[in-house]
Amino acid sequence: MFLLVFLNCFNNSAIGQSEPISEAKTDKLVKQALANFRESNFEKSLIISRVALNAASNIKDPSLISRSYTIIAANYNELGEVDKAIFFYNKSLYYANKTNNDTIKYNLYNNLGNVYCFEKKQFDKGIGYYKKSIAYGLKINDLNQVYFTNVNIAWAYFDINKYDQGDLFLKYINTNNKKYGDKSTDVIVNMLNGMYSSYRKDYEAANEFFLKAIEAGKKTEEKSDLAYAHLEYSKFLNKIDKPREAYKNLTSYNKVTEDLYNEEKLKKASIAGFSLELDEYKRQIDKIENEKVEQYHSLKKSRIIVILFILISLILLFLIITLVKNIRFKKKHNLELLKAKEIAEEASLLKTQFISTISHELRTPLYGVVGITNMLLEEHKELSQSQHLSALKFSARYLLSLVNDILQINKIEENKVVLETLTFNISDEITMIKNSLSFLSQKNNNKINVSIDPNIPEYLIGDKLRLAQILMNLVSNALKFTKDGEVEIIVNLDRIEGKIYFLDFLIKDNGVGIAVVDQGKIFEKFVQVGRKDEDYQGTGLGLSIVKKLLGLFGSTITLVSDIGEGTSFAFIIPFEYDPEKTKNIIEEIEVDLTSNEVFKILIVEDNLINQLVTKKIIEKNNYICKVVDDGFGALRILESEEFDLILMDINMPLMNGFETTKRIRLQGIKTPVVALTAFDKDEITDEAISSGINDIIIKPFEPVKLFKIINYLISEAKNAG
């Protein structure tokens, strides 16, 4: 900025000039000059054009400059100064190309076509200009002007006796005459038809067309067209041997021409034109002088720039030296940062591995605890009222919920959660959530009220599992902190954008509320507000998971709450509504195949308690079941016996489940294999598929889900066989 200001101080010379004429007044002058030209008042037209051109140059308006030059060129063309006309037309074209006004460009190319065809007799060049004019006419969708240019092209071809080529354009003219023709073209169109009829030796039609042309010409102000009509009619009459009538029309041509271009007019116009040329020369001289002044100032600036360049070079040299020192320092610092980054990445990896290992180690005994508890309750109905057994089952499920929450938060932070595309009914999903939380609502004597906007479609497409997880966390939270009250689940249609429906969810309670000072903390991990030592309030991960899951949907959550007034959580999630796509998804859903057949199942499991639990679940469904302790045992028994399905543990000593399955497949055994594991599904899916495992089920599991998978895979295997 300093350099710019410094240099501008040396460029303050200015050329004094009078106040410029406004754009509106200049435009008015241009229109006045054009009106004078059309009245054949060339002197006045040139004088006003000169004033308009100077005004347009002062305000530097390329459109007005171009229009002024066009009128000047047209005047010279009418006065027979063809070369000057071409010079000024080209000047006009130069300024027209600086604008976006395609109408000006259309007119200029049309006028240049007229000059080259009818004055210079360079027809190829002239017709080339005409065709450029038509291109601009089509671009601006001005079909009237396109029609007019076609008239000129036809006339040009007829003028050089190329009637067959001109006939194509004449046909277009005659076809569109009623649509685009007017009084200004009637004279020439009739004249052209007369010329063509004469060429075809249809003399009666030719004579009629010429008479129509002359009659139309007498009614228009454009007397030059009337003159051309008399001239061409004279040629025709001479051709058919009517010399007297031919002479009469030639006399009429001379009279009209004389009226248009009388000597006094031409003299005055010549003087006006000379003054205009002087102005043009003066403009060129002023331009040269201005360039000289600019060169002088430029030279002066150059000296200053050289001095400044030397100073800047010295400053740059100093900066380079400083930069080199900084680079050396940063290089050393970056090595330290890189090392710290590697340590952080290693720590993150260790954290992930630790969480994965801990979750597996916890899920394995939990599977046994939950399974044995269920077995006790089923086999000994008298224990169903036992507080100790209920406490054991509750504690196991609480511990499992904690493990799942920690895994979920870790997966989101590691960007391993991908939203699924499933079709679902929003009313059914919320009803299921309400029913599953009925125990918690009864515990605190709460009511759950549901309100769903009827404008929401029956079936939507999106990740219903993540939505259910969000709602479960928020509604269970509301139920925990509300006693003898109400929890509302309200879903409204916010807006529609194409096939995307934005649903507005509101979870509202009239419980204890959250203080304003605590509202910023509740979405952090392991944070609990208002917890008493004797109360069970969960892990403190629920709201953190909700916030992160909403982030996957591209949404945020808002909170309104106050102590004693209750709490409201609101968020908006977009879902797709596409009946055709929904139909396809529903058709692709795997049908739960039930069977009364007795299947033979092989369990490969090293943990004795888990063996007992899994075997009990399988045999309860009247299936035949055999158990082996490891992979080698599985390979041995498969040599002598056939099974309908294999339940394979993954984490086993000696040989794990992946390697065991690979060896089973290498032996050509196609029996379906289901991984029954405590590992998280996302961690082992790729390796499971590559080893030949057909499906995965995570321990602890719902027996119904296991039997659904068993029935489906066995049915598929039999159909494939």
CATH of the domain at 701: 3.40.50.2300
Instruction: Flag whether 639 is in a domain.
Output: yes
433 and 566, same domain (yes or no)? yes
571 and 463, same domain (yes or no)? yes
437 and 515, same domain (yes or no)? yes
Burial 20-56 (b: 16+ CB within 10 A, else e): ebeeeebbebbebbbebbeebbbbbbbbbbbbbbbbb
CATH of the domain at 518: 3.30.565.10
CA triple 309-310-315, angle to 5 deg:
95
Alpha-carbon separation of residue 112 from 49, 99, 612 (angstroms): 19, 19, 101
492 and 520, same domain (yes or no)? yes
473 and 563, same domain (yes or no)? yes
- What span, in angstroms and rounded, lies between the C-alpha atoms of 159 and 162? 8
568 and 486, same domain (yes or no)? yes
Alpha-carbon separation of residue 327 from 297, 330, 333, 337, 365 (angstroms): 42, 5, 9, 14, 56
CB 593 within 8 A of CB 710: no
Instruction: Flag whether 152 is in a domain.
Output: no
pLDDT at 2: 37
pLDDT at 217: 83
- The DSSP bridge partners found for residue 627 are 603
Domain closes at, from 225, 241, 257? 241
618 and 671, same domain (yes or no)? yes
Domain closes at, from 210, 241, 272? 241
Alpha-carbon separation of residue 95 from 55, 114, 358, 442, 446 (angstroms): 15, 20, 79, 85, 82
613 and 541, same domain (yes or no)? no
pLDDT at 344: 66
563 and 604, same domain (yes or no)? no
N- to C-terminal Cα separation, the chain: 83
pLDDT at 632: 92
CB 33 within 8 A of CB 49: yes
The range of the structural domain enclosing residue 231 comes to: 183-241
Structurally, how many domains does the chain consist of? 3
Instruction: Flag whether 256 is in a domain.
Output: no
Instruction: Flag whether 681 is in a domain.
Output: yes
Classify burial at 244, counting beta carbons within 10 Å of its beta carbon; exposed 0-12, middle 13-18, buried 19 or more.
Answer: exposed
From 127, 60, 138, select the one nearest 103 (Cα to Cα). 138
489 and 563, same domain (yes or no)? yes
pLDDT at 569: 93
Instruction: Flag whether 546 is in a domain.
Output: yes
Instruction: Flag whether 674 is in a domain.
Output: yes
| One-letter amino acid of 403 | V
Instruction: Flag whether 659 is in a domain.
Output: yes
Q: The pTM is what?
A: 0.41
556 and 674, same domain (yes or no)? no
Instruction: Flag whether 89 is in a domain.
Output: no
Beta strand 557-562 pairing with 566-576: antiparallel
- The DSSP bridge partners found for residue 508 are 488, 568
pLDDT profile of the chain (721 residues), mean per 10? 38 46 87 86 84 87 89 85 87 89 87 86 86 86 85 87 88 86 82 90 89 85 81 88 87 82 55 54 53 69 83 87 84 76 67 59 64 67 61 58 61 64 86 80 89 91 84 87 92 92 94 81 63 48 79 88 89 91 67 63 89 86 89 91 92 89 92 85 83 87 82 85 64
Beta strands, E only, 81-151:
none
574 and 668, same domain (yes or no)? no
- What span, in angstroms and rounded, lies between the C-alpha atoms of 303 and 306? 5
pLDDT at 533: 42
